Amino acid sequence: MTVTVVDHPLAAHLLLQIRDETTQPDQFRSLTKRLTTLLILEATRDLPSEETTVRTPLEDAPGRVLAGPIVAIPILRAGLGMLDAVVELFPQVRVGYLGLERDEATFQPSEYYHKLPPLTDAVTFVLDPMLATGGSAQAALTSIKDGGAEKIKMVSIVSAPEGIKALEDAHPDVDIITASIDRELNSTAYILPGLGDMGDRLYGTTP
């Protein structure tokens, strides 16, 4: 497993605004999309490509094109905030969805929705903005592997050391791309310093 923290001044700038408790849902969604763009550009750095040639108005020009399909799978509901950035960068992306709900007493996930496209021939990117305990991510990755995915990357906005360790133990073949490795989890399994509940902040459902 390789863990990549995107080291870019713009990523740091956007992340701090996302963390700010005064950031309103409309701005929060825009910031999440922009930061996800930076994360996905890093995550797709090693996508396979092949040589080809096109004709410009003046002469032939050699270059490279993507050689295979990609899949994006947001973990509902917070992962939806990251999806638009991927679709804009890769309009031909196949999109799947996984719904996972955390039991607030045990912190264990249960799957309530599952819809995946063909995976065996693609590079799959799992979009889960908060890698906390790693329980939901572990369950998602197991489900996705059962669906035939072989090349998988996890893309998160903030990650806790506990979640990274859980994935390293359970899915050591899956690389992680994140904007930050935060300090720790609190007693209710929220990331510190974190950014609160991602889904609530995206969609304005904070009590």
Does the annotation mark 106 as catalytic?
Answer: yes
Element (H, E) at 178: strand 175-181
Catalytic-labelled residue, pool 106, 142, 205, 206: 106
Name the active-site residue from 19, 34, 94, 102. 102
Which residues, other chains included, contact 175 with Cβ-Cβ below 8 Å and sequence gap of 6+?
1, 2, 3, 4, 153, 154
142 residue type, one letter: T
Token pair of 7 as six digits: 């080291």
Helix ranges, 22-131 (H): 25-43, 80-89
**182 flagged as catalytic:** no
Examine the residue annotation and report whether 121 is marked as an active-site residue of this protein: no
Residue 196 CA to residue 207 CA, distance in Å, equals 12
**Spatial contact of 165 and 1, defined as CB atoms under 8 Å apart:** no
- Is 55 in the active site? no
In 3-state terms, what secondary structure has residue 4? strand
- Residue 148's region, left for phi above 0, alpha for psi from -120 to 50, else beta, is left
Active-site residue set: 102, 106, 197, 200
